[in-house]
């Protein structure tokens, strides 16, 4: 899964978020690759710090600190010197001193193993909002979602949403075009250990669609989940 530097510079036309996993444990890496790929991300994997530093420019770097060739904190610092990508440290080191050092050297977030896929994807969405210009305000065609104030407008008209409807919309709008699984939405908008009926999600999505009043803006991808689609004017902002 190695590629020359610059490989991740060109995103597909769908503007899929690219993720580079820097992890020397192949079993852990395989789980992350599989889960994030199913979540709609473009995922690549390298096993060493040198390979990570020779890579192009992914949107997100998931960086383990225990690498076979270089100290992970050193890799974090060098990545930050040349990239504006979001860097999330994913490691078994849970001590406060390790967290502080990694964050001081340029990491945007720090996640201690073991962790759930839904939490990781929520962290990815959160760091992308912070590192991208205007990250607190998401614009997608006629839709504007202000994360900080929880204000939503469509074609300039304010749309009043319930907290759950806003959480669902935020989950979709964080990465327009990416298919967000039903389970990911449930775990994000309800609870990380949600085991209730999934029909509740359909009810809220139906209500959200009615309120937004933009046909095709929220698409159902059967067997997978939902995404922001190419409704009238979508993708043009």
pTM for this predicted structure: 0.62
For the chain, domains (ranges, CATH) are: 18-131 (3.40.50.2300), 137-228 (1.10.10.10)
Quote the CA–CA distance of 76 and 104 in Å, as a whole number.
10
What angle do the packed helices 117-131 and 26-38 form, to 10 degrees?
Answer: 70
**pLDDT tens-digit map of 149-173:** 888 999 889 999 999 999 999 888 8
Write out pLDDT tens, residues 59-104: 999 999 999 999 999 999 999 998 888 999 999 988 889 999 999 9
Angle between helices 199-212 and 163-173 (to 10 degrees): 80
Cβ partners under 8 Å of residue 101, min gap 6: 73
Residues in CB range of 61: below 8 A, 6 or more apart? 19, 20, 22, 52, 79, 83, 85, 86, 87, 88
């Amino acid at each position: 899964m190695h590629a020359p530097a610059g490989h991740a510079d060109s995103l597909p036309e769908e503007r899929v978020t690219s993720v580079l996993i820097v992890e020397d444990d192949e079993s852990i890496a395989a789980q992350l690759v599989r889960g994030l790929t199913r979540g709609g991300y473009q995922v690549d994997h390298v096993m060493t710090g040198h390979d990570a530093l020779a890579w192009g420019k992914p949107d997100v770097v998931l960086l383990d600190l225990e690498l076979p060739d270089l100290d992970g904190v050193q890799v974090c610092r060098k990545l930050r010197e040349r990239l504006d990508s979001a860097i999330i440290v994913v490691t078994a080191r849970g001590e406060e001193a390790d967290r502080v050092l990694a964050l001081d050297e340029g990491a945007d977030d720090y996640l201690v193993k073991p962790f759930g896929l839904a939490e990781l994807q929520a962290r990815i969405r959160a760091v992308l909002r912070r590192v991208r210009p205007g990250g607190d305000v998401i614009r997608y065609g006629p839709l504007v979602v202000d994360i900080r104030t929880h204000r939503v407008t469509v074609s300039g008209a304010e749309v009043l949403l319930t907290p759950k409807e806003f959480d669902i919309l935020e989950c979709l709008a964080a990465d327009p075009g990416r298919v967000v699984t039903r389970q990911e939405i449930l775990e994000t908008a309800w609870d990380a250990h949600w085991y209730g009926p999934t029909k509740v999600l359909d009810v809220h999505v139906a209500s959200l669609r009615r309120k937004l009043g933009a046909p095709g803006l929220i698409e159902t991808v059967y067997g997978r989940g939902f995404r922001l689609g190419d409704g009238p004017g979508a993708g043009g902002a």
